[in-house]
């Protein structure tokens, strides 16, 4: 019905790994497809409570038709020592996997690599062995199916839950990866790296401070970004080209900072950086940037045009209306009156309008020139601290 806003349906698996868990349940684990929808409905109704995940096990209570909730226990097939060796050996041999795991993240391509190594982190046929205290003999019953879906929330919160369900907690997995990175004293034997020698505090404080090394010369141009070894997973919506574009943009900004020095403003908000990228890129890319950022194309187009003409301050006066002190407005109004332009200047907040020309006063104490563009206004040239420079541009 018009004017009625429906409630957004509860979804399961809102991260890459959570969605992968749900996909495995529905497509690979060979569970009863007629029971899963009823489980989703139960999960959405909030019938599951006290859900806990342990090594190879999930427990929960599910409220059914009777007063006492049903007890659900789900065992997941743990990896054998050989499977753990295969999984950790594969992960340890890929620098990107090791770096991500030690940072507490799971890269998306790890799922395919783990499955290829014979140690699939996601459930397959026969991996899930549930028990429920309800009288329904189906596998899974709707109570078990509800818990299956809510495990996706646990995976969303911590993807290392998948390792735990296969038998090992995060700490054990990371400790094993660290030990594999330590130098080996004998072939095939892993040992921890020796601790760094200590430094006597008294000697450290009395030691003469060495001069800083000479600053490296700034390169004449910005170098090209590195090429990724593999593309991001397709389902992420990212591509190597997007990462290359972002890396090139970051390198260009870093180079400008080196060349222009610390006085250059580098801290930009999200919308400011978006406008900067839109202003520097192809006009045809504005629609794609706006869609990706969830911003109307019309707004981003106006911000980009303002950024090209007057930079950060130009975009600010496009987006913001404020009430400055009267002194700068009075001076600008007097300059307008002496300009000989037709009409009478009208003041509203930080804006003075006379005919098809408008001046806006920014919080940076600079004046910005706007000209009428259809039903709106657009920035027309750089800013100045003197309103006459803006009324009579060079």
Asked whether the predicted pLDDT for residue 263 surpasses 60, the reply is no
Q: Which of the four pLDDT bands, split at 50, 70 and 90, describes residue 182?
A: low
Among 134-148, 161-175, 177-191, 361-375, name the one with the lowest average pLDDT.
Answer: 177-191
Average pLDDT of the chain?
Answer: 86
Asked whether the predicted pLDDT for residue 82 surpasses 70, the reply is yes
Q: Please state at what angle helix 36-44 crosses helix 142-157, rounded to 10 degrees.
A: 60
Where residue 355 falls (left for φ over 0; alpha for ψ -120 to 50; beta otherwise) is: left
Asked whether the predicted pLDDT for residue 281 surpasses 90, the reply is no
18-32, 52-66, 173-187, 215-229: range with highest mean pLDDT? 52-66
Among 74-83, 131-140, 162-171, name the one with the lowest average pLDDT.
Answer: 131-140
The pLDDT value recorded for residue 207 is 78
Q: Does 174 or 284 have the greater pLDDT score?
A: 174
What are the φ/ψ torsions at residue 131 (nearest 5 degrees)?
-135, 140
- Where do the domains of the chain lie? 16-176, 237-319, 326-391
Model confidence, pTM: 0.48
Asked whether the predicted pLDDT for residue 230 surpasses 80, the reply is no
Report, as an integer, the average pLDDT of 344-368.
Answer: 93
| Cβ pair 92, 180 in contact under 8 A | yes
Report, as an integer, the average pLDDT of 142-148.
Answer: 94
Report, as an integer, the average pLDDT of 340-362.
Answer: 90
The pLDDT value recorded for residue 107 is 81
The pLDDT value recorded for residue 198 is 65
Report, as an integer, the average pLDDT of 239-243.
Answer: 83
The pLDDT value recorded for residue 261 is 67
C-alpha 370/C-alpha 389 separation (Å) is 13
The pLDDT value recorded for residue 306 is 95
| Helix (H/G/I), strand (E/B), else coil: 235 | helix
Q: How many helices (H) and strands (E) does the chain have?
A: 15, 9
């Amino acid at each position: 019905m018009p004017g009625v806003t429906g409630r957004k349906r509860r979804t399961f698996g809102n991260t890459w790994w959570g969605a992968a868990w749900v996909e495995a349940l529905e497509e690979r684990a060979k569970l009863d497809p007629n029971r899963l929808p009823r489980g989703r409905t139960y999960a959405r109704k909030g019938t599951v409570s006290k859900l806990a995940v342990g090594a190879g096990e999930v427990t929960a209570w599910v409220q059914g038709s009777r007063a006492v909730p049903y007890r659900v226990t789900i065992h997941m097939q743990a990896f054998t020592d050989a499977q753990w060796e295969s999984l950790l050996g594969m992960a340890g041999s890929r620098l990107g996997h090791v770096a991500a795991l030690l940072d507490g993240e799971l890269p998306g391509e790890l799922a395919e690599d783990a499955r290829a190594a014979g140690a699939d982190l996601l459930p397959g046929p026969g991996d899930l062995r549930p028990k429920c205290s309800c009288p329904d003999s189906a596998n899974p019953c709707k109570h078990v199916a509800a818990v299956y879906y809510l495990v996706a929330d646990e995976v969303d919160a911590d993807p290392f839950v998948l390792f735990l369900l296969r038998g090992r907690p995060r700490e054990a997995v990371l400790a094993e990866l660290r030990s594999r990175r330590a130098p080996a004293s004998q072939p095939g034997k892993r040992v921890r790296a020796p601790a760094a020698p200590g430094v006597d505090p008294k000697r450290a404080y009395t030691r003469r401070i060495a001069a800083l090394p000479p600053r490296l010369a700034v390169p004449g141009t910005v170098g090209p970004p590195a090429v990724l070894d593999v593309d991001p997973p397709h389902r992420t919506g990212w591509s190597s080209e997007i990462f290359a574009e972002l890396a090139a943009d970051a390198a260009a900004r870093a180079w400008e900072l080196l060349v222009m020095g610390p006085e250059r403003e580098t801290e930009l908000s999200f919308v400011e950086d978006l406008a900067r990228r839109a202003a520097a890129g192809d006009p045809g890319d504005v629609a794609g940037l706006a869609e990706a950022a969830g911003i109307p194309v019309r707004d981003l187009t106006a911000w980009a045009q303002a950024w090209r003409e007057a930079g950060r301050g130009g975009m600010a006066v496009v987006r913001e209306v404020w009430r400055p002190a009267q002194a700068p407005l009075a001076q600008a109004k007097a300059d307008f009156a002496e300009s000989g332009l037709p009409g009478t200047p009208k003041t509203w907040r930080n804006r003075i309008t006379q005919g098809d020309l408008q001046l806006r006063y920014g919080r940076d104490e600079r004046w910005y020139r706007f000209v009428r563009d259809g039903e709106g206004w657009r920035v027309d040239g750089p800013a100045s601290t003197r309103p006459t420079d803006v009324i009579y541009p060079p």
